[in-house]
């Protein structure tokens, strides 16, 4: 038996696969995608096992289920697939052309290196907490939120406390839905967020459910102000921290944003 010859192109092939898998991991991190993929793999292994030991009827049923699996995957992963296609596209949301895939892949996108001044967000959230004004603020990090921005009304204005407070003022035209902040700009308001499918306490309102929903399919950090209690919450990576005091809110938000997004001191 001869040795397997590995040429230069084989190394490039392995490297390309590794880069692709790494990027897919980054895109899926913090979402439910890994759990779904594991479930599909387990079903496939069970199908292979039942087929090999002669459980023909059971194996046939599993085969039919896996046969339509591609359609199910497209439906379940629709937001992630759309995000991936937008990422590798040549045109970004701001109209500038270029290879967005490679800029995002190697950390040159606006999400990873943007310096966010959280002062107006903190000031607005605390003011709205005191006045019991409901608010839902989504701060973009790496994940492209274009599919969420498209559900709302474009704003494209410098982030400021008065702007945020005016948007969420009760009975204001844009107060329903979420505000999307990208860098130091409010890019859209009145956006519709996906509600979480997870079991949550009955006292969770629509804003808290929506905050959890978007945090499950993206790495965004979401600030929620309760209209009923004035309580401040922060959602990220499919979890939500409620009952944050106004005194500790700035520190908690800075911690949630984490490495790669810095607060600008004033």
At 10 the pLDDT is 78
Cβ-contact 27, 84 below 8 angstroms = yes
CA 12, chain centre distance (Å): 31
At 49 the pLDDT is 85
Domain with CATH 3.40.1700.10 in the chain: 114-263
At 178 the pLDDT is 94
At 34 the pLDDT is 66
At 263 the pLDDT is 47
At 108 the pLDDT is 42
Q: Tell me the backbone φ, ψ of residue 180, rounded to 5 degrees.
A: -110, 125
Task: Give the pair of three-digit tokens for residue 159.
Answer: 């982030």
The segments of the chain whose pLDDT lies below 50 read 90-113, 260-261, 263-266
Q: How far apart are CA 13 and CA 142, in angstroms?
A: 27
Q: For residue 220, give Cα distances in angstroms to 34, 41, 99, 217.
A: 18, 28, 23, 9
Q: For residue 27, give Cα distances in angstroms to 12, 81, 197, 250.
A: 22, 10, 20, 27
At 233 the pLDDT is 94
* CATH 3.40.50.1000 given to domain 114-263: no
At 4 the pLDDT is 65
At 237 the pLDDT is 86
At 95 the pLDDT is 41
At 94 the pLDDT is 37
At 87 the pLDDT is 52
Q: How far apart are CA 77 and CA 233, in angstroms?
A: 28
């Amino acid at each position: 038996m001869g040795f397997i010859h590995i040429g230069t192109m084989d190394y490039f092939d392995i490297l390309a696969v590794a880069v692709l898998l790494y990027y897919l991991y980054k895109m899926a991190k913090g979402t439910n995608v890994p759990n779904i993929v594991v479930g599909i793999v387990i079903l496939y292994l069970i199908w292979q096992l039942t087929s090999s030991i002669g459980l023909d009827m059971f194996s046939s049923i599993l085969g039919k289920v896996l046969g339509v699996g591609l359609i199910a995957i497209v439906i379940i992963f629709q937001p992630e697939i759309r995000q991936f296609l937008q990422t590798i596209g040549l045109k970004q949301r701001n109209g500038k052309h270029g290879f967005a895939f490679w800029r995002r892949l190697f950390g040159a996108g606006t999400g990873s290196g943007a310096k966010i001044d959280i002062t107006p967000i903190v000031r607005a959230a605390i003011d709205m907490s005191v006045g019991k004004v409901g608010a839902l603020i989504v701060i973009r990090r790496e994940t492209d939120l274009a599919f969420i921005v498209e559900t709302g009304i474009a704003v494209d204005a410098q982030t400021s406390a008065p702007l945020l407070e005016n948007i969420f003022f009760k009975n204001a035209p844009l107060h329903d839905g979420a505000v999307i902040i990208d860098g130091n700009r409010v890019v859209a308001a009145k956006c519709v967020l996906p509600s979480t499918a997870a079991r949550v306490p009955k006292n969770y309102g629509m804003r808290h459910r929506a905050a959890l929903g978007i945090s499950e399919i993206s790495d965004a950090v979401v600030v929620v102000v309760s209209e009923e209690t004035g309580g401040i919450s922060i959602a990220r990576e499919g979890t939500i921290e409620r009952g944050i005091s106004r005194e500790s809110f700035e520190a908690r938000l800075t911690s949630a944003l984490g490495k790669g997004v810095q607060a600008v001191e004033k």
